């Protein structure tokens, strides 16, 4: 309940930039004392700024898209280890979906040149896999967001309906202590949430830097993910760790 309310608060503040406690209380039909407690928690997480009875959006680097070239250099050893483990889940003939994370780009670089269909919203993954002779590449298309190297497509749902996806592999911005997966923006979160629901299996690739962090846009609850590969042990219920 509280997580849902926090999501609604962040969305309202992001849309309006600045909102008062009274406005938020009216919009969410929640008493002002509850709103104040929620805002205090969100400020502690670095997601908003409180001043004079108002909450202001903090525009973080992730919100405007940290350049792919900067993100790709972080936690290289962890990503290398995680993506090597992930290869064991990939079999010839699969329809595989990959997100636009740097982790999945590292994975794409390791993919064997065998018959596979790979659906992705990542411009970098598309360019990497065009070198493979036997890998068919399906790009979601749409608007190219150059900083993130990601395509944002309004026709995503209609495209995905045409494919029976065997395995969706993805990363995230953070996993909070309540077991919710987050991303830094709505378009990436929407892509991942949709694929988690539609793929036969979903596999989360998560290095230890993502643990106990919260982002702006909710992806899903961790128990909705079928398999997790991480370099840190998790003890959340209903999650299979590899």
Tens place of pLDDT for every residue, the chain, 242 residues? Answer: 677 888 888 888 877 878 999 999 999 999 999 999 989 888 877 678 887 788 887 655 444 445 676 677 677 899 999 999 999 999 999 999 999 999 999 999 999 999 999 999 999 999 999 999 999 999 999 999 988 899 999 999 999 999 999 999 999 988 988 899 999 888 999 999 999 999 999 999 999 888 888 777 899 999 999 999 998 776 554 443 44
Q: What share of the chain is helix, strand, coil (3-state, %, to 5)?
A: 40, 25, 35
Please state, as a whole number, how many other Cβ atoms lie within 10 Å of the Cβ of residue 110. 13
Task: Give kind and range of the element (H or E) at residue 12.
Answer: helix 2-16
Question: What tokens were used for 125?
Answer: 């993954």
pLDDT given for residue 238 in this prediction: 43
Euclidean distance between CA atoms 197 and 74, whole angstroms: 29
DSSP H or E segment with residue 170:
strand 167-170
| Domain ranges for the chain | 2-58, 68-230
18-20 sheet: strands from edge to edge = 18-20, 54-57, 48-51
For residue 74, how far is the Cα from the chain centroid? 17
Q: Is residue 57 a contact partner of residue 18, using CB atoms and an 8 Å limit? A: yes
Q: CATH assignment of 68-230, given 3.40.50.1360, 1.10.287.40, 3.30.505.10, 3.30.70.60?
A: 3.40.50.1360
Write out the CATH class of domain 2-58.
Answer: mainly alpha
> How far apart (Å, rounded) are the C-alpha atoms in residues 236 and 177?
9
């Amino acid at each position: 309940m509280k997580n849902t309310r926090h999501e609604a608060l962040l969305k309202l503040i992001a849309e309006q930039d600045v909102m008062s406690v009274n406005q938020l209380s009216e919009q969410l039909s929640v008493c002002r004392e509850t709103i104040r407690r929620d805002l205090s928690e969100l400020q502690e997480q670095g997601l908003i700024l409180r001043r004079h009875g108002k909450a202001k959006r903090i525009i973080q680097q992730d919100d405007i898209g940290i350049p792919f070239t900067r993100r790709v250099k972080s936690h290289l050893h962890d990503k290398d280890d995680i993506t090597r483990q992930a290869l064991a889940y990939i079999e010839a003939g699969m329809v595989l979906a990959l997100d636009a994370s740097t982790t999945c780009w590292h994975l794409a670089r390791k993919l064997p040149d065998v018959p596979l269909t790979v659906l992705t919203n990542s411009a970098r993954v598309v360019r990497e896999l065009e070198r493979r002779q036997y890998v068919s590449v399906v790009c979601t298309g749409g608007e190219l967001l150059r900083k993130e190297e990601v395509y944002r497509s309004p026709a995503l749902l209609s495209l995905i309906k045409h494919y029976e996806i065997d395995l969706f592999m993805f990363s995230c911005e953070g996993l909070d202590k309540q077991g919710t997966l987050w991303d830094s923006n709505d378009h990436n979160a929407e892509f991942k949430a949709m694929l988690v629901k539609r793929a036969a299996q979903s596999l989360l690739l998560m290095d230890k830097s993502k643990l106990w962090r919260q982002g702006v846009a909710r992806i899903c609850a961790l128990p909705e993910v079928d398999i997790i590969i991480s370099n840190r042990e998790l003890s959340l219920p209903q999650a299979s760790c590899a």
